[in-house]
Amino acid sequence: MFPYAVETFSAEEEDILRRYVTNLDQPVFALVNLPEVVKGALFARYSRSPKSLRRLFLDEFVSELDISGDATVDATVGLKRAVELYEKVFFEYGDDSVAQLGGVHLACEQASNVLTKILEWGRLMAYLEQSTRYIAYNQRLTTGHYRYYRDPGLLDSPLGARYVGDMDRMFDTYGELLEEAQAWLAVRHPRRQGDSDFIHRQAVRAKALDALRGLLPAGSLSNVGIYGTGQSYEMLLLRMRSHPLPEARQYADMMLEELRKVIPSFLQRVDRPDRQAGSADGRLGGGGFGQVARVRDSDWRRGVVHKVRPCSAGQSRG
């Protein structure tokens, strides 16, 4: 089961999007062939909009750009870049600093609130996350579902029906209280002289959303825009691929696929055994992070985590 809502676009919209995003139907994609100021403005608008980044780009940015010169570009098949120099520097000289020279704007959509914290753990990157202070979460996805993560393994388990029922009721309650809160706050905070009706409504709505966002569960979905260098993405992916949360590991695979369309040379070492978290001599295994958790999916669902004692480099973890 694919746990993400898939967007649909017209043939004309698809033709435009192919020039600037690395895929049209996945929740993770990179922005390419756009001026840096446009990418930054897109991410800034992203944090306060309920729209996906592709839809936001089509609705609010395309009309302001001259896209005629990009008509023959297809970013979804990957960018053809020379990689010989980077391979030589990486593998023959081992110079990691080269991976600091290329950056990517990556959109990470429909991520649970738990996953967003994992994505944003490394502070050497820049992030803009969809804000629950400005966006109503009673709006449903294109699938008709509320905006919470639907883990395939959980839905197939005996607890699946209960999970969906409880989560739906939680979002129902949120939606009902949102209307009541806005009505009460409109009276409690009357329009000030000089303010338009629009400004007053927006201020009241923001207060209501801020007051009720504590009702939203950790499984609520969010969109995150990330900008980082190849080196930063490599470290993030290594952490995610060894994380006990299944969603994090699956999401890391999607991120790696899209990033390799843009900066393939910077991520060639991600699959090497000695770069995996938990390996005796890996960057994330032997030092700095202390304990490494080994968790099976079945244990994760039962809340069981087996801690492994820290060991020095060269000592097997077993």
pLDDT, position 307? 41
Residues 207 and 226 in one domain: no
pTM of the model: 0.77
Residue 87, SS3? helix
Query: What's the first-to-final CA gap in the chain, in angstroms?
Result: 34
Residue 190 has φ and ψ, to the nearest 5°, of -65, 160
* Enclosing domain of residue 22: 11-132+220-271
Count of domains for the chain: 2
Residues 27 and 124 in one domain: yes
Residues 202 and 57 in one domain: no
Residues 199 and 263 in one domain: no
Residues 64 and 164 in one domain: no
pLDDT, position 275? 64
pLDDT, position 280? 36
What's the CA gap between 253 and 239, in Å, rounded?
Answer: 12
* DSSP state for residue 285 in the 8-state scheme: T
pLDDT, position 73? 55
CATH number at residue 86: 3.30.1360
**194 Cα distance to chain centroid:** 40
pLDDT, position 52? 94
- In contact, 244 and 122? CB cutoff 8 Å: no
Residues 261 and 173 in one domain: no
Strands 292-294 and 306-308, by their bridges, are antiparallel
- In contact, 136 and 209? CB cutoff 8 Å: yes
What's the CA gap between 167 and 244, in Å, rounded?
Answer: 23
Residues 107 and 230 in one domain: yes
> Nearest-CA neighbor of 257 among 269, 267, 272, 247?
267
What's the CA gap between 57 and 55, in Å, rounded?
Answer: 5
Contacts of residue 200, defined as CB under 8 A and 6 or more positions apart, other chains included, come to 186, 191, 192
Residue 191, SS3? coil
Regions of the chain with pLDDT less than 50: 77-83, 85, 278-318
Interval 188-218: pLDDT, tens: 999 998 889 999 999 999 999 999 999 999 9
What's the CA gap between 170 and 174, in Å, rounded?
Answer: 6
For 296, counting Cβ atoms within 10 Å of its Cβ (0-12 exposed, 13-18 middle, 19+ buried), the class is exposed
Using the CB atoms, write b or e for 36-72: b if 16+ within 10 Å.
eebbbebbebbbebebbbbebbbeebeeeeebeebee
Residues 128 and 225 in one domain: yes
What's the CA gap between 226 and 299, in Å, rounded?
Answer: 31
Give domain status of residue 297, yes or no.
Answer: no
Residues 93 and 16 in one domain: yes
Residues 18 and 115 in one domain: yes
pLDDT, position 16? 92
pLDDT, position 62? 86
